[in-house]
Amino acid sequence: MEVKANGPNDESGRIPDGPTKGRIPDGPTNPMVTPLLTDLYQFTMAYAYWKAGKHQERAVFDLYFRKNPFGGEYTVFAGLEECIRFIANFKFTEDEISFIRETLPGSCEDGFCDYLRGLDCSEVELYAVPEGSVVFPKVPLLRIEGPIAVVQLLETPLLNLVNYASLVATNAARHRFVAGKTKMLLEFGLRRAQGPDGGIGASKYCYIGGFDATSNVAAGRFFGIPLRGTHSHAFVSSYMSLDEIVEKSLQSSDGSSSCEDFVSLVQTWLDKIKVIRSGIPNFCAVALALSDLGYKACGIRLDSGDLAYLSCEARKFFCAIEKEFGVPGFGKTSITASNDLNEETLDALNKQGHEVDAFGIGTYLVTCFTQAALGCVFKLVEINNQPRIKLSEDVSKVSIPCKKGCFRLYGKEGYPLVDIMTGENEPSPKVGERILCRHPFNESKRAYVVPQKVEELLKCYWPGISGKAREDLPPLKEIRERCIKQLSKCVLII
């Protein structure tokens, strides 16, 4: 068996642009995302549909979530590009067909294997909210229409690709909101993520949610995300004394001169600083010696202790050095903080007052520690043009039937007011026309709205053979910009 990883798709390692109209997108970034990455019961049902001659019946499924995560008021939708890459390349290999046959009852007919052999997503249409959009419960993120057997097979992988992506993007957006716009946010979670793909996905979707960079080199390469890092305790403790530094010379940054003994230059600065030899003065002595040779030190990382207090003390020290030795800009030396940071600790730091410029955030961000799963579901809403509903004693679990149109209505200032779902054949909301918006499960919640702008939320990302135009999959940076822009407009309502 041979599977290709589809990150950079040429030998140069260059990150490819998003697929353009008409071109088949590359396969999923993770080559383990195959048609077998689904629940067994999807095959059981596909087989049963096939046996009953129902497999080609046209069905519509909605993928949506029921409740915003983290006790919040919004969700960032992510994972769409990987969904499209998946369905665009949906095809069983002979090995996979053999495995399914072994797994199904012994009486499974050749005909079903032939059916699987010919299967692809050409008869499927997928509509979606653009990736990076701010979205709300109950409104479909994806609307998938096609022959019931194949759409059923797509259920599990689409849920898998959207659930965590949207959850961690939302978590990143929430961290950004607390940290403020001006801080640098670094995703440092790879080592604690839920598996290799949890790490790579976290890097991608935290970037969409507003992070600036990642420490994950593979994600940097796959997606073109900026890479950042510091160094570890092991690096410091691997040195026993200055005698270990054999190569002591350093050329100036412009190459015009050379310092024969950079270590002595640092020690000269250290004597000038005349304070206890803790971390910060040591850093300053090195930074000043580097400055002598035309280099600019990157900054420091605080990884333990009282981050608010230590950052303020470090800033004071940097400013004092700038003043004392006349090194312009030294006071602004970057301070990065890490150590099990999360929304709460960021908020506490803000309240205490701090001088941190960049936060490295890992475990709590990437594992979504406070709520480790988003409960996206995939429900049949129509078959053969007949509506379908799932009833439940728990009203929050009742599905909303029918193939839907979804619209975002905007008010005067250009701010979004409400998302509305209509039956596909009902008239669409129109600019300037009063429309009654009703809460689907709470009759007391209703309001008349006169939209100043109407945006159709569901766009066609996979037309199958319908001949409809296909939306482009934008580059990651555009998705990120959409997310940041939409979040800035949501501040009023969250």
- 126 SS3 class: strand
111 binds a copy of itself (CB under 8 A): no
> Which of 204, 175, 154, 180 lies closest to 29, judged by CA?
204
Q: Which stretch binds a copy of itself (CB under 8 A): 261-269, 372-380, 440-448, 481-489?
A: 372-380
137 binds a copy of itself (CB under 8 A): no
**Is the Cβ of residue 30 or residue 133 nearer to a copy of itself in the bound state?**
30
Determine the Cα–Cα distance for residues 53 and 181; give it in Å rounded to an integer. Answer: 56
Closest approach of Cβ 388 to a copy of itself, in Å?
5
User: Applying CB under 8 A, which of residues 17, 114, 180, 232 lies at the interface with a copy of itself?
Assistant: 232
User: Applying CB under 8 A, which of residues 185, 190, 356, 400 lies at the interface with a copy of itself?
Assistant: 190
261 binds a copy of itself (CB under 8 A): no
**Is the Cβ of residue 31 or residue 180 nearer to a copy of itself in the bound state?**
31
Taking the mean position of all CA atoms in its chain, how far away is CA 451?
31
Judging by DSSP bridges, how do beta strands 459-462 and 446-449 pair with one another? unpaired
Q: How many CB atoms lie within 10 A of CB 436?
A: 9
User: Applying CB under 8 A, which of residues 103, 257, 258, 428 lies at the interface with a copy of itself?
Assistant: 103
- 84 SS3 class: helix
163 binds a copy of itself (CB under 8 A): yes
Answer for the pair 405, 422: CB distance below 8 angstroms, yes or no. yes
User: Applying CB under 8 A, which of residues 247, 254, 260, 413 lies at the interface with a copy of itself?
Assistant: 247
Answer for the pair 398, 377: CB distance below 8 angstroms, yes or no. no
84 binds a copy of itself (CB under 8 A): no
Closest approach of Cβ 292 to a copy of itself, in Å?
18
Residues 34, 38, 41, 46: is their CA dihedral positive or negative? negative
- 292-331 residues near a copy of itself, rule: CB under 8 A: 304-305
- Element housing 88 (H / E): helix 80-88
User: Applying CB under 8 A, which of residues 21, 181, 182, 234 lies at the interface with a copy of itself?
Assistant: 234
Determine the Cα–Cα distance for residues 167 and 68; give it in Å rounded to an integer. Answer: 9
184 binds a copy of itself (CB under 8 A): no
Answer for the pair 380, 59: CB distance below 8 angstroms, yes or no. yes
Length of the chain: 494
Task: Tell me the CA end-to-end span of the chain in Å, nearest whole number.
Answer: 49
493 binds a copy of itself (CB under 8 A): no
> Which of 460, 426, 391, 440 lies closest to 145, judged by CA?
460
83 binds a copy of itself (CB under 8 A): no
Closest approach of Cβ 382 to a copy of itself, in Å?
10
**Is the Cβ of residue 195 or residue 467 nearer to a copy of itself in the bound state?**
195
**Is the Cβ of residue 263 or residue 450 nearer to a copy of itself in the bound state?**
263
User: Applying CB under 8 A, which of residues 18, 54, 282, 331 lies at the interface with a copy of itself?
Assistant: 54
Say which residue the tokens 């048609």 belong to: 35
Q: Which stretch binds a copy of itself (CB under 8 A): 115-123, 134-142, 230-238, 474-482?
A: 230-238
37 binds a copy of itself (CB under 8 A): yes
Find all residues with CB under 8 Å of 415, minimum gap 6, and list them.
489, 492, 493
240 binds a copy of itself (CB under 8 A): yes
Measuring CA to CA, how many Å separate 197 from each of 140, 189, 256, 492? 26, 12, 47, 35
436 binds a copy of itself (CB under 8 A): no
159 binds a copy of itself (CB under 8 A): yes
341 binds a copy of itself (CB under 8 A): no
**Is the Cβ of residue 232 or residue 352 nearer to a copy of itself in the bound state?**
232
Find all residues with CB under 8 Å of 407, minimum gap 6, and list them.
419, 420, 421, 422, 428, 429, 454, 455, 456, 457
Contacts with a copy of itself: how many residues (CB under 8 A)? 116
Strand partners, 258: 251
Closest approach of Cβ 15 to a copy of itself, in Å?
10
User: Applying CB under 8 A, which of residues 12, 182, 241, 442 lies at the interface with a copy of itself?
Assistant: 12
User: Applying CB under 8 A, which of residues 17, 20, 23, 32 lies at the interface with a copy of itself?
Assistant: 32
